[in-house]
């Protein structure tokens, strides 16, 4: 007797929903994706701007997390993988209206060399001393979760938090380091602390292992994009999954009968919520108000990218390196900036220079949420020109991509929150979560969640297992 494959409704056609459909189909299930908008990819969005290739959301995969790269290879995109120009890899910190090179020899924000810390103008004498004392101090981790701010302060002091860890690590999540869960965001740093006591010593040991891999020729560049932009990834999934995808369908109703789910009236065995938590809340709240309430608890912060194309011939000097991040507390809407063509080749048209500004924090939230794109352009440009006066006052082209409440808050206790959601999902039966609100915000984290989900529902073929 043959049994029919389990049917799975996937709500949301961002990278989480699409890769869930990909891996579920591989595992023998029968998935169907519902996407509210007319395009797939969610926050992954690439477009052409004055002959240049620009990204409105992610610009790369962080190679340290291999799942996004694995998926690219499975989809036949190996030839299109585009490593960052690591020979130009350097970036700066914007502090008190000036750009300071990020101290050389730091891995993340953890110093591995003394001289660059002693000579940087980013830290005061006291700040430098506090950082360099780290290997000689005892670090007592608290019971349970800890914020990024407390963790960094315990090891390296307040200046290291405001000028190194906050911009670098807090910037990835767009969150407030005082309320960002270390357990959910950087568990590897916690493990280093547990194993070595000192992060400086722990990182040194990790770097030795990484160097050995490099010698064996297996260390790729830090960031990897795709020749046609990040959008190539969802596009490749769409072309493989076409018959499984429905665009322009915003799911509005969820019901649960004895052993089946109903999604806008259509029956399925399983439901995957590949939606931001707050967008999933009113839907699942129709079935289980307590789950709806839990999902509603997740906070989010707003951000925008402002892509600016300038004529190179109008610039006296061209910025070097990959870009910069702003020290905390932020004094303008400018959180950071990437010099796009320095980071990835093939992005700029002839005689153009492309910058991608990240706007966010309290100075930008109102403008992002109320859709004031002209103001985001003028304020972003003003903040950039205050630092780099050689940037012309009028771009040849620009694009503002807003993400109101688009960055999920990984607040203290985030993993307990996920565990509560999972416990309620088990109670309801055949309900699953996948995506940036839950177990990691990076594209690769979303792909990993999709893989794990498919593995938990069926047999993922050998070639997809990590
Ligand atoms: C500015 C920015 C820069 C970033 N940079 C990087 C980076 O460089 N590298 C990296 O790895 N990550 C980066 N990220 C993070 C990463 O891009 C996102 O976390 C990830 O793309 C989110 O994917 P997702 O599928 O979980 O959610 P989303 O992409 O938000 O997709 C959710 C989808 O659900 C749909 N939807 C909503 N409601 C409904 C409904 N009721 N019915 C049907 N569909 C619905 C939405 O239309 C959307 O398409 C960045 C994020 C931002 C905002």
* Best of 57, 399, 439 for a ligand 1 pocket test (most atoms within 8 Å of beta carbon): 57
Q: Tell me the DSSP string of 235-277.
A: HHHHHHHGGGEE-S-----EEE-SS-EEETTEEESEEEE-S-H
Structure tokens, 282: 């009113």
For residue 90, is it within any domain?
no
Same domain, 133 and 211: yes
Same domain, 202 and 248: no
Name which residue sits closest to atom 27 of ligand 1, judged by CA.
14
Same domain, 122 and 186: yes
Distance CA 61, CA 442 (A): 8
Same domain, 420 and 452: yes
- pLDDT given at position 329: 94
* Best of 234, 275, 295, 337 for a ligand 1 pocket test (most atoms within 8 Å of beta carbon): 275
CATH code for the domain of 322 = 3.90.660.20
Structure tokens, 214: 């490099």
For residue 143, is it within any domain?
yes
Q: Measure 173 CA to ligand 1 centroid, in angstroms.
A: 13
Same domain, 132 and 190: yes
Same domain, 252 and 275: yes
Task: Please indicate whether residue 156, judged by its CB atom, sits closer than 6 Å to ligand 1.
Answer: no
| CB-count exposure of residue 215 (10 Å: 0-12, 13-18, 19+) | exposed
Strand segments, DSSP code E, in 279-344 are 300-311, 323-326, 334-339
CA dihedral in degrees (146, 148, 153, 154; nearest 10)?
40
Dihedral (CA of 67, 68, 69, 75) sign: positive
Tokens 């891995």 -> residue: 107
* Best of 11, 14, 300 for a ligand 1 pocket test (most atoms within 8 Å of beta carbon): 14
If you compute the radius of gyration of the chain from its CA atoms, what whole number of angstroms results?
A: 23
Q: Measure 142 CA to ligand 1 centroid, in angstroms.
A: 33
CATH code for the domain of 244 = 3.50.50.60
Residues with Cβ within 8 Å of residue 185, at least 6 apart in sequence: 148, 169, 172, 173, 410, 414
- pLDDT given at position 2: 58
- Domain stops at, among 408, 433, 451: 408
- Domain stops at, among 408, 423, 454: 408
Which of 443, 184, 188 shows the shortest CA–CA distance to 451?
A: 443
Same domain, 283 and 326: no
Same domain, 157 and 288: no
Range of the domain at 375: 300-408
Name which residue sits closest to atom 19 of ligand 1, judged by CA.
441
For residue 70, is it within any domain?
no
CATH code for the domain of 145 = 1.10.3110.10
Same domain, 285 and 325: no
Using the CB atoms, write b or e for 43-80: b if 16+ within 10 Å: bbbbeebbebbbbbbbbbbbbebbbbbbbbebbebeeb
Cβ neighbours around 293 below 10 Å, total? 11
Same domain, 338 and 388: yes
Q: How far is residue 135 from each of residues 105, 125, 131, 204, measured CA to CA in Å?
A: 16, 18, 9, 11
Same domain, 146 and 247: no
Name which residue sits closest to atom 22 of ligand 1, judged by CA.
436
- pLDDT given at position 386: 95
Task: Please indicate whether residue 58, judged by its CB atom, sits closer than 6 Å to ligand 1.
Answer: yes
- pLDDT given at position 463: 45
Task: Please indicate whether residue 436, judged by its CB atom, sits closer than 6 Å to ligand 1.
Answer: yes
For residue 71, is it within any domain?
no
Of ligand 1's listed atoms, the one at least distance from the Cα of 39 is 49
Question: What's the gap between Cα 273 and its chain centre?
Answer: 19
| CB-count exposure of residue 23 (10 Å: 0-12, 13-18, 19+) | buried
For residue 311, is it within any domain?
yes
Tokens 């990484």 -> residue: 210
For residue 12, is it within any domain?
yes
Same domain, 340 and 289: no
For residue 322, is it within any domain?
yes
- Domain stops at, among 183, 215, 247: 215
Q: pLDDT tens for the chain, 466 residues: list them.
A: 557 899 999 999 999 999 999 999 999 999 999 999 999 999 999 999 999 999 999 999 998 899 999 999 999 999 999 999 998 889 999 999 999 999 998 988 999 999 999 999 999 999 999 999 999 998 889 999 999 999 999 999 999 999 999 999 988 888 899 999 999 999 999 999 999 999 999 999 988 887 777 676 656 688 999 999 999 999 999 999 999 999 999 999 999 998 899 999 999 999 999 999 999 999 999 999 999 999 999 999 999 999 999 999 999 999 999 999 999 999 999 999 999 999 999 999 999 999 999 999 999 999 999 999 999 999 999 999 999 999 999 999 999 999 999 999 999 999 999 999 999 999 999 999 999 999 999 999 999 999 999 999 975 444 444 3
For residue 126, is it within any domain?
yes
Instruction: State the total domains in the chain.
Output: 3
Distance CA 359, CA 375 (A): 11
User: Is the Cβ–Cβ distance between 295 and 278 less than 8 Å?
Assistant: yes
Which of 232, 350, 261, 337 shows the shortest CA–CA distance to 8?
A: 261
């Amino acid at each position: 007797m043959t049994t029919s494959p389990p049917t799975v409704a996937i709500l949301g056609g961002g990278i989480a929903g699409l890769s869930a459909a990909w891996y579920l189909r591989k595992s023998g299930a029968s998935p169907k994706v519902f996407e509210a908008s007319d395009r797939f990819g969610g926050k992954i969005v690439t477009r052409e701007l004055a002959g240049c290739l620009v990204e409105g959301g992610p610009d790369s995969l962080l190679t340290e997390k291999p799942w996004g790269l694995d998926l690219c290879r499975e989809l036949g995109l190996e030839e299109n993988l585009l490593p960052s120009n690591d020979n130009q890899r350097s970036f700066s910190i914007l502090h008190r209206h000036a750009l300071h090179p990020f101290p050389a020899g730091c891995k993340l924000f953890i110093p591995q060399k003394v001289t660059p810390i002693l000579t940087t103008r980013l830290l005061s004498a006291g700040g430098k001393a506090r950082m360099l004392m780290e290997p000689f101090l005892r670090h007592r981790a608290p019971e349970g979760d800890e914020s990024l701010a407390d963790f960094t302060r315990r090891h390296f002091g307040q200046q290291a938090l405001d000028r190194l860890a906050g911009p670098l690590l807090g910037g990835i999540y767009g969150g407030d380091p005082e309320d960002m869960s270390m357990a959910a965001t950087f568990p590897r740093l916690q493990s280093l602390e547990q194993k070595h006591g000192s992060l400086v010593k722990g990182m040194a040991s990790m770097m030795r292992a990484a160097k050995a891999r490099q010698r064996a020729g297996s260390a790729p560049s830090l960031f990897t994009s795709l020749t046609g932009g990040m959008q190539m990834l969802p596009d490749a999934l769409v072309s493989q999954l076409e018959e499984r995808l429905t665009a322009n369908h915003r799911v509005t109703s969820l019901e649960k009968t004895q052993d089946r789910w109903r999604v806008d009236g259509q029956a399925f065995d399983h439901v995957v919520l590949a939606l931001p938590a707050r967008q999933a809340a009113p839907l699942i709240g129709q079935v289980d108000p307590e789950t709806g309430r839990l999902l509603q608890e997740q906070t989010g912060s707003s951000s925008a990218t402002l892509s600016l194309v300038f004529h190179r011939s109008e610039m006296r000097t061209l910025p070097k390196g990959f870009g910069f991040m702003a020290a905390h507390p932020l004094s303008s809407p400018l959180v950071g900036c990437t010099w796009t063509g320095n980071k990835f080749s093939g992005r700029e048209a002839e005689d153009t220079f492309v910058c991608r500004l990240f706007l966010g924090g309290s100075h930008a939230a109102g403008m992002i949420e109320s859709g004031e794109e002209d103001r985001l352009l003028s304020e972003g440009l003003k903040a950039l020109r205050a630092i780099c006066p050689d940037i012309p006052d009028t771009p040849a082209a620009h694009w503002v991509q807003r993400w109101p409440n688009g960055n999920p808050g990984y607040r203290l206790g985030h993993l307990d929150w996920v565990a509560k959601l999972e416990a309620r999902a088990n109670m309801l039966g055949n309900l699953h979560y996948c995506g940036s609100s839950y177990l990691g915000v990076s594209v690769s984290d979303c792909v990993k969640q999709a893989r794990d989900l498919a593995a938990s529902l069926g047999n993922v073929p050998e070639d997809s297992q990590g």
